[in-house]
Amino acid sequence: MSEKFTQLPDQVNQQAAEWFTLMQSADVSASDHQKLTDWLSENPDHQEAYRQIELVWQTVGDLSETHEGSALRRSTEQLSARLKSFFMAPVAMINSLFPSPRYAMSFAAICVAVGLIMLPKPNDPVLTYYSTQTGEIKTIALSDNSEIILGPKSKISTSISDIERSVNLITGEAFFDVAKDRQKPFFVTTDNVSVEVVGTQFNVQKIGSAVSVAVLEGIVNVFGQGGKVSQSAILPAVVLTAGQKVIKARDLAFESVLAVPGSDLAAWRLGRLIYRDISLADVVADAGRYFEGKILLQSDELADEKITVTLRTDQVGQLPQMLAQTLPLQVHVVSDDIILLKPQLELEQAN
């Protein structure tokens, strides 16, 4: 039968089956017909449930004239007994409604139809968006029992259903604690990087054009596109285990796999930012997610400067002054929320 059934409440399907089987009995009265009419008019779901039962009845009628229908008829008494128990119908009522094998078969077919109608159908994927504000950290519980901790000024979309588990990191950073399901891998994508896991804990961070993936527990497969030969080239997969990290710039190959302490992965979730040998531009961009103002770099030389720094998230406003103690730069406060970092030499020449 090619007709597509609509998912309706179980109670409505059962009531429709009872009404339809009553209508097939020999002693149905005018009062019964009126009550059915009243029931159908109460709710569009009642009409749809009854229509679906009629479709099944019609199909069973076509089947009854075939060899397969004869075989089914011979087995309906036993099937009907089991289905009576399933629907908790009183035996006396069933006997009065179905005095002949024909009605027993009808009842069995109707109950089977109701059972099929009531079977759970795979959920259609639903795209859901989550975002955070400056300095905000949000914990998101997914329907598959996975959990996402979304960092400040970050945005993701999720698609979790019976047939897929996927997340797109649009901007920012997120830590994933994925519930294990070998039949349904969990995917995280961002730019031209894709992460596949079965069940594990890992961190994905997007800073400018670079994406980093670091693993706290389990095994993570990282895929990517881009490279010196072709930006669309598929790169060899990188397999990461606990304590490993890989970084990929937008149109470049993966960098070497690095060791990363577990304490670094947990740091931002505990209010600390740890940057190790990272360009000043990336440090400023990432730390800016915790700061209401803007820190601007005046020079490309400064932007490429590699630094190592650790600070609390509530100290990000003091980052320019901290940098000025170790780097050849000076801090110029343009306004309450704009801080400009200039090379020291440039300022000296200006004076």
- Whether 122 and 161 have beta carbons less than 8 Å apart is answered as yes
Last residue of a domain, one of 99, 118, 137: 118
pLDDT-derived band of residue 214, with 50, 70 and 90 as boundaries?
very high
Q: Same structural domain for residues 252 and 217?
A: yes
Residue identified by tokens 């089977």 is 112
Q: How far apart, in whole angstroms, are the C-alpha atoms of residue 3 and residue 195?
A: 39
User: Is 336 found in the same domain as 238?
Assistant: no
In this prediction, residue 86 has a pLDDT band, given cuts at 50, 70 and 90, of: very low
CB count within 10 Å of CB 108 equals: 24
Number of domains in the chain: 3
Axis crossing angle, helix 44-64 with helix 10-23, rounded to the nearest 10: 50
Cα–Cα dist 109/126, whole Å: 34
Across the chain, mean pLDDT equals 79
60 and 155 inside one domain: no
Indicate the SS3 state at residue 331. Answer: strand
Q: Which of residues 205 and 114 earns the better pLDDT score?
A: 205
SS3 content of the chain, % helix, strand, coil (to 5): 40, 30, 30
- CATH number for the domain spanning 199: value is 2.60.120.1440
Q: Which of 209, 233, 206, 237 has its CA nearest to residue 223?
A: 237
Task: Output the pTM of the full model.
Answer: 0.63
Q: Which of 41-50, 101-110, 119-128 has the highest mean pLDDT?
A: 41-50
Q: Is residue 3 part of a domain?
A: no
DSSP state of 288: G
Q: Find the mean pLDDT for residues 210-221.
A: 94
Q: Are residues 82 and 146 in the same domain?
A: no
Give me the domain span that covers residue 70: 10-118
* 167/263 same-domain check: yes
Q: Do residues 176 and 215 both lie within one domain?
A: yes
**In-domain check, residue 2:** no
Is residue 184 domain-shared with residue 253, that is, in the same domain? Answer: yes
Co-location of 279 and 241 in the same domain: no
Same domain? 106 vs 183 = no
**Residue 225 shares a structural domain with residue 319:** no
In tens, the pLDDT along 44-82 reads: 888 888 888 777 766 655 555 555 455 544 544 444 444
Does residue 4 sit within a domain? no
pLDDT band for 108, please (50, 70, 90 cuts).
low
| 185 in the same domain as 159 | yes
Domain's final residue, options 267, 286, 317: 267
